[in-house]
Structure 1
Amino acid sequence: MSATSTANEHALPIASGRETAKQVWRLSRGHRLRLATVAVLGLVSTGINVIPPVIIGFLVDQVRAGTADLGTVLTVTALMVLSAVLGAAGTAVTIVLATRIYHTILAGLREQLVSRAMTLPQHLVERAGTGDLISRTSDDVTAVVDAAPAVIPAVTVTAFTIVVSLGGLAALQWQYAAAFVVVLPVYVLVMRWYLRIGPRVYGAERAAMSARAQQILESQRGYATVLGLGLTDQRHHSVMTASWGVAVWTLRARIVQAMLSIRLNLGECLSLATVLAVGFFLIKADASTVGGATAATLLVLRLLGPINELVFVVDDLQSALASLSRMIGVATIAEGPGEPTATVDTDIAVRLQDVAFAYGDGPRVFDNLTLDIPVGQRIAVVGASGAGKTTLAAVIAGIHLPDAGTVARPGRTTLITQETHVFAGTLRSNLTLAAPDAADHDIHAALEATGAAGLLDLLPDGLDTMIGTGGYPLTDAQAQQLALARLLLADPELAILDEATAEAGSTHAGLLDRAAEATLRGRTGLVIAHRLSQAATCDRIVVMEHGRIIETGTHDELVAAGGVYGGLWSAWKAGRSINNKVERTGS
């Protein structure tokens, strides 16, 4: 889909005006009869509201002719009161109906937005920044919703008032309508100027808000890292810079609004002056009456009121339209073709051929990487920090697309990292996220296999116990067992564990290692090993260094070879021996 250019070339797309209108029209399907009813009711209600200016013009002519009496005044008063009541009631019903249709269509868009956001390729979200997606599903939705109370009445009333007022002016005397039409180009030029400037400014304002959200989110997520590395001042500067960016664009938006008000006030002055001048010449030529000129002037004044009201909410309208385009930009992202795939033999589960990958414009993490993982084998990847292990797991999982080469993997692939999340809800709902049809006996079997069956004895309501935020707190080890049980229920063809048990600590290391082993039993597995004890139990070990595979083989083969892995294993065994002695001495 086409999208406007943004500061970040990897940002999520923004729908164009035509795409936004097309999508809103599509979402209005099923509501178009009600929309037609709103249009008819709005026109009738506004037409009733035209009666008072016409009656006042009639009264003026009656007074000038000396034929007005008490009955005339009472009749005019009664008609004005009746038209005011009926017009106000009709307008109120029109606004209520329009608001209900608006929120119904918006609800459909929000469902589509959330549904698409949950299925976006993770590499797309990662490259755009999670703050961009969060901003669109929160700030932009809020902007569109909050605009409804002010924008809908103003837009609805203004649209119908313009149509009916022009018809009323033409009915009085075509010259009055022509006089107003002559001034319309002023409004057209003003709106063309604003539509050229406004959307760009408001779009930049929303983009700046996304950048600010990204900076705040990164600071919150990396709180421990920020404190540990002393990056507080740096993160504070980044957040403040992003916040000032929002302030600058917000100020520009307010300046644009002020300039728009000045231009529209000029148009209002010209409209009223033109109609009065035409009325003067028509009366002088006996082509119109004073009452007719009075009615025409009142109609113009009545038309300027809704336009002024629209000026006050045009800020919200443009902000809502900018947010709506950003929402639709995500909701209508087409399904991509995915990364190039390789032809895989039936006995090969994963195949990487000459794969290269780099983060943005940075140096390549690895280049010309080739790796085959046979079906049913468990492969461990080890290496020093920065060797490219996690990146390899992400590329195989499809989170990152390779810059070159091809990646083939099973259709059902699941990745678990050390960042385990417990959702607010019951234990059952947490476990069945990836397997909604799982029965209780399946859940119990998964908990038993991962060594978490004892957790049920600790929870007051068993599987129905609320956990996560505001619920029963789980330890890090229990949360990781939960994630492994989740994977077991999902039953993927390929399971990738990226240091999924790294947060356990020595106390629960053995327990979680056994849980991970049970999870991988009978399926193809890729383990980014945090502890070499995990790697030793795998069928094959891949050693990485600076993005290259430098050794591969079984545990015994690599130890016997005395290479990099052999050195790591010797150092790890020595460290374990020292730790055991310390623990025995301490006890």
Structure 2
Amino acid sequence: MSTQIHHDRLPVADWRRTARHLAAHLGRHRARLVLVVVAMTAAGAFGLVTPRLLGSIVDVVATGGDTSDVVVRAAFMVAAAVACAVCTGIGIAAAASVFESVLADLREEMLAGVLRLPVARVEAAGSGDVLSRATDDVDKVGEAIGTALPSVLMAQAGVVVTVIGLAAIDWRFLLVAVVTAPLYYVTARMYIQQAPAVYAAERVAAADRAHHVLGPVQGLPTVRAFDLGSRLSRRIDKHSWAVVRRAMQATVLQNRLAGRLNLGEFIGMAVILLVGFTLVGDGAVTVGAVTAAMLFFLALFDPIGQLMYVLDDLQSGAAALGRIVGVLDVPDTRTHSDVDGRDDGTGLVASGVDFGYTREHPILHDVSVAVRPGEHVALVGMSGAGKSTLATILAGVHSADHGTVTLGGVPVSDIPDAQRARRVALLTQEVHVFSGTLREDLLLARPDADVEDVWAALEKVGAAAWARSLDDGLESVVGEHGHQVDAMVAQQLALARIDLLDPDVVIVDEATADAGSVGAGVLEDSAAAVLDGRSALIIAHRLSQAAAADRIVHLAGGRVIEAGPHTDLVASGGRYSEIWAAWAKGRELA
């Protein structure tokens, strides 16, 4: 299977797929959703009591009625206000319970979806695309679910109940709905048609900006070494302004929405006044009834405005949810068959491998390498020769464009991810200490390991004394929120995890390069102890490591130019011999 690495964003689900996904989550909470609808409807009904009674108070005052009638109506208004508040509180609490549960499920789904993506697919999409979906997009969905959806339910209940209230006063007041509904419909349709593209483009622009910001941050030493700051700053500036332009387009759209809402409110008030003037003149209704109708319509401003304005959050949230569902919809191409029993004892073998991160720039050309059971093979070559790229292909992180990679006679691509990770371990100089206790960090490699196994692994890599010096030993919290671990110890912990994992083959990619001259020697001893008795491919940045290996493979320009034992290569007089002579002479002079 060919894996060309280029900027290939992850898919975005269409609105039908997104709606089905959200509906499936909401369907798990039907009972609480019914409670939300009932509570919101009751709150809307109680909310109409106050304007209706205010209208009747106008009539009492206009006809010179008894003051006690006003007091009774005022008491009912207070009771209705209390009931409205109680129902609203129940509705909001139930809505929060439902929507926060849905949001928690979406977060877990998103994390699981990202973690199951092949590393090559993540690299093709760009770290900014994945990171923005897992952070910004989840936050946008959280805002929509936590704020917009409850507002929609409250607004819909308020609109329906208020229209019923207007009809109860006099059916002719429904003329206001006939006049304003088309305007609101056209406004909403315009917004729904234009907003998704605007907000989707804004999210994509934000992802691009994140991608171009993260790259220089992650490669800061390289940026400084090659003085790339100004060039990369201009690129970040370009993509930042792209985000600003998209945000301004969204703001213009919002302003158009606000203007049409205000026009609808003006037309609606004018219609109520005209209808009310006519009906009072004919004696069909009282001034108090017209007052109540106007108050009803004024009460509609808030729910209609909410309904329209949350379209903003809903559209932004829908665009973000589409990006999240797009990650979940990436097909799982992993094989789930059991291949453990098919090992033919050949070890890890690459034959005729070609590979390039882009189609235009191939990296490896017809590379063949074999790591036999129990054998240590050193991979040497200048920087940029393709050593680390070959390591990722042998580990199954990337798939070769041409050629094959097998482990025990089985294509690496056919081995399920979980099995492959246990059988081929890739250790680089970029290791991570996970937040939690030291014991939990090490047990990630083998959850069923007992305490004795953990201490044995620490002893083997030379980190046991350091672990015992911690206040709580294995129960000490390490990582970002605990005891800070330096680069050398972090590598030793990574080696201890390798020892606990006990893989068939270990691929070591310059794991001692970041530890300094003193630390590198310590780490070489730690690595030698862990690799003893295991098959290993060692990407060597020190020729002393290569000399100690059973065989050496020399890469140059993405091709194997020499291969064989150290003594044979030195005796051959080839390029490795020249490099070894220069290296050895430098040691003698030192």
Q: TM-score range by the shorter chain?
A: 0.7 to 0.9
Give how far 1:200 is off.
Answer: 2.1
Deviations 1:133-191 (A, max 9, x none): 22233333334445666535533321211121222233344443354045322222211
Residue 357 of structure 1 aligns with an amino acid whose one-letter code is: F
Conservation of the 8 A alpha-carbon contact between 2:458 and 2:464: yes
SS at match of 1:76: helix
1:306-385 counterparts in 2 under 5 A?
306-311=303-308, 313-337=310-334, 346-385=344-383
Q: CA RMSD in A?
A: 3.0
SS at match of 1:91: helix
1:120-519 counterparts in 2 under 5 A?
120-146=117-143, 150-151=147-148, 154-177=151-174, 179-280=176-277, 290-311=287-308, 313-337=310-334, 346-407=344-405, 408-409=411-412, 411=420, 412=422, 413-469=424-480, 471-519=482-530
Count of aligned residue pairs for this structure pair: 569
Give the Cα separation in 1 of the matches to 2:330 and 2:89.
38
Residue 213 of structure 2 aligns with an amino acid whose one-letter code is: I
Conservation of the 8 A alpha-carbon contact between 1:20 and 1:324: yes
Specify whether residues 529 and 511 from structure 1 end up closer, same or farther in structure 2 by C-alpha distance, changes over 3 A only: same
Give how far 1:372 is off.
Answer: 4.1
SS at match of 1:538: coil
Equivalent in the alignment of 2:408: none
Give how far 1:462 is off.
Answer: 2.3
Residue 109 of structure 1 aligns with an amino acid whose one-letter code is: L
Conservation of the 8 A alpha-carbon contact between 2:58 and 2:288: yes
SS at match of 1:423: coil
Specify whether residues 545 and 311 from structure 1 end up closer, same or farther in structure 2 by C-alpha distance, changes over 3 A only: same
SS at match of 2:363: strand
Indicate the percent of aligned positions where both proteins have the same amino acid.
41
Give the Cα separation in 2 of the matches to 1:394 and 1:487.
17
> Higher relative contact order at CA 8 Å, sep ≥6: structure 1 or structure 2?
2
SS at match of 2:379: strand
Equivalent of residue 578 in structure 2, options 567, 577, 582: 567
Give unpaired runs (5+ residues) of structure 1: 1-7, 583-587
Give how far 1:563 is off.
Answer: 2.2
Give how far 1:320 is off.
Answer: 3.3
Deviations 1:190-220 (A, max 9, x none): 1121122222222222222222222332222
Give unpaired runs (5+ residues) of structure 2: 1-5, 406-410
Residue 539 of structure 2 aligns with an amino acid whose one-letter code is: I
Give how far 1:106 is off.
Answer: 0.9
Deviations 1:387-437 (A, max 9, x none): 111111112223223334444336232211111222333322222222222
Equivalent in the alignment of 2:53: 55
Equivalent in the alignment of 1:94: 91
Give how far 1:441 is off.
Answer: 0.7
Equivalent in the alignment of 1:33: 31
SS at match of 2:239: helix
Moved more, 236-245 or 379-388: 236-245
Residue 261 of structure 1 aligns with an amino acid whose one-letter code is: A
SS at match of 1:335: coil
Moved more, 268-277 or 154-163: 268-277
Conservation of the 8 A alpha-carbon contact between 2:442 and 2:496: yes
Deviations 1:476-507 (A, max 9, x none): 32221111111111222232111112223432
Specify whether residues 181 and 414 from structure 1 end up closer, same or farther in structure 2 by C-alpha distance, changes over 3 A only: farther
Deviations 1:268-327 (A, max 9, x none): 223333444445555666665555544333322211222224555554443333333333
Give the Cα separation in 1 of the matches to 2:438 and 2:350.
37
Give the Cα separation in 2 of the matches to 1:112 and 1:445.
37
Moved more, 308-317 or 486-495: 308-317
Residue 232 of structure 1 aligns with an amino acid whose one-letter code is: G
Conservation of the 8 A alpha-carbon contact between 2:60 and 2:70: no
Specify whether residues 179 and 419 from structure 1 end up closer, same or farther in structure 2 by C-alpha distance, changes over 3 A only: same
Residue 384 of structure 1 aligns with an amino acid whose one-letter code is: M
Give how far 1:36 is off.
Answer: 0.8
Equivalent of residue 553 in structure 1, options 546, 549, 564: 564
Equivalent of residue 528 in structure 1, options 526, 539, 559: 539
Equivalent in the alignment of 2:18: 20
Give the Cα separation in 2 of the matches to 1:380 and 1:324.
47
Conservation of the 8 A alpha-carbon contact between 1:95 and 1:156: no
Deviations 1:35-55 (A, max 9, x none): 111111111121121223333
Equivalent in the alignment of 1:4: none
Is 1:108 equivalent to 2:119 in the alignment?
no
Residue 16 of structure 2 aligns with an amino acid whose one-letter code is: R
Moved more, 438-447 or 24-33: 24-33
Equivalent in the alignment of 2:75: 78
Deviations 1:249-274 (A, max 9, x none): 22222221111111222222233334
Conservation of the 8 A alpha-carbon contact between 1:109 and 1:331: no
TM-score (norm 2): 0.87
Equivalent in the alignment of 1:585: none
Give how far 1:528 is off.
Answer: 1.5
